Structure 1
Amino acid sequence: MGEQLHKKQRVSDLLNEDVAIQDIIKIVKVSQTMVYNIKHSKAMGEGVQQRPGLGGHNSKPKPEFLESLDKKIREDPMVSMCHLATSFEVNEGTIRRAVHDNLGTASNARTPRHLLTKKLKQKRLLKCQKLLNWIKSKPSTVKNFSEKKIVAVDHVVNHRNNCWLAESIEDVQRVYRTKHPAEVMVLGVGSYDGKKMHPYFFDPGAKVGTDAYYKVLRYHMLPWIKSNYPEGDYVWQQDSAPSHNSTWCQMFFQEHMAKFWSKDFWPPSSPDLNPLDFFVWRVMEKEINIFPARRQPCSALKPALL
């Protein structure tokens, strides 16, 4: 208790000497909240005119403060709350309340998206219309979605939510990443009626070109689809990868498939349309990579991948 009072007195003395708040934090080794609380208490006790936005309890931020804060955020929407608190020399809680309650804004995560040119957007629109018309004309046809995925067997880190509950820092398990993690490419197939093909794992390091892809189609996928849909009430989907659009593979589909969407159907850059891209691969990576102790060998994932 005596040491805490000494620190408070030291902070108060430095504030009287007009030392910058950030410097006081480093000198006395106290929290920013303590410095602001002491400064606020001194100002209220001495009847000093407060800065806009730094009133007492239940006081609303001043319009001048909110206007300056709003201008600062519009100039740099990526600015952090901590940086704003330092810039305005107020408590971070004051900034957060003003931003959320008074300005009506919230901190949102920036999500990656495909950069689509005007030409590509028009191309996607035309193919989506063509695809939608095909589906409407054949509503009972079972859709079979396929997709390849390179899976890196390494720890996946969610930087927005990567906490570990422990009594001390020594008990927290570290995140270890490998420089060159083991990778394997897998082909998955899932159908609208719930049927699924056992995933096909390519040889590690193998280049999946037209020849390799054709062999998988001929000796792995075709027997599965023939046994599950002997009446031919299905359609095969794949993206526009070079190996998929090769003349050899397109001829294979025309000869052996009841129905398939050619390269003129599937819209480019459309992972949101494929259930495998949209959901399945993410679940698979979570199961094998989130906790190293729970990792399963790739072979153990084959029966339950889809």
Structure 2
Amino acid sequence: MKSKDLQNILLSKYQNGDTPTKMFRDLNGGIGLRTIKRWCQMILQSGSITLSSPPGCPRLARAKGNIRKIKNRLRRNKRVSARKLSLELDISETRVRRILKSDLGLHPYKKFVEPLLSDDQKIKRKKFANWIRTNFRKEETMRILFSDEKFFDIDGVYNSQNDRVWAIGRADADKNGGIKQKRKFPQKQDGAKPNSHHLTQQWCRDRWPPNSPDVNPLDYSIWDELVNTINWNKVQSKTTLIQQIKSSFKNIRESVVFESCASFTDRLYRFCQNDGNYLR
């Protein structure tokens, strides 16, 4: 859309009584909020938008300046959305995205959340993988019954949708804050016998690798499938949360369950290949 068209749209919205913030949202970041406020001030004073210089050659200089501003801003912290850059630097969101991708060659990467593993835990993970692969055939592992517990609250789950790291590749993103590590799950149990029985606890200590949700299909696949089927807009209380969880179980795809369990032995092989590190 040309600059003159944007000016006419903004003038019309101003005459309709729209606020600068509403104009910014309606234009989906096509113009920076600071620019909208400046244009609204022009309309208030003169009844029109009068720019000091027409678009032309200086535009190239401004583009170079914008590239430099965005580049310097990312040097301080790469964890920022294009929308926030647009607001902070007073550059349209469309132009910000174009500069990030076309001029700087960057891509937005989601932040991964993964357990914080010690060297001893990595050794135990490899030991567990070798034990399963040595003593069980693949078809036998398909008969394993996996168990787990999941805590939900009415605030939903951590959503990394708007948490991006701008980088030239995944490895570069990981080095610049693309991984959020967390410690072992909080010590909570519901008191059920399968959880608290001393034989169960002893088996887990002897066999099951610590801090390893990436080896349990419920953790690395099924819970995520369930979370994505819940209608979080309907979750307003504990009662509605329980209702949504119960109804969402019916919507879990069988193919996801079978595929996640079938990938169990493949993950064990990858444990041995990547020195016991976390699998994404």
What's the TM-score, normalizing by structure 1?
0.46
> If each structure's helix is expressed as a fraction of its own residues, which one has the higher value?
2
Greater relative CO, 1 or 2 (CA 8 Å, sep 6+): 2
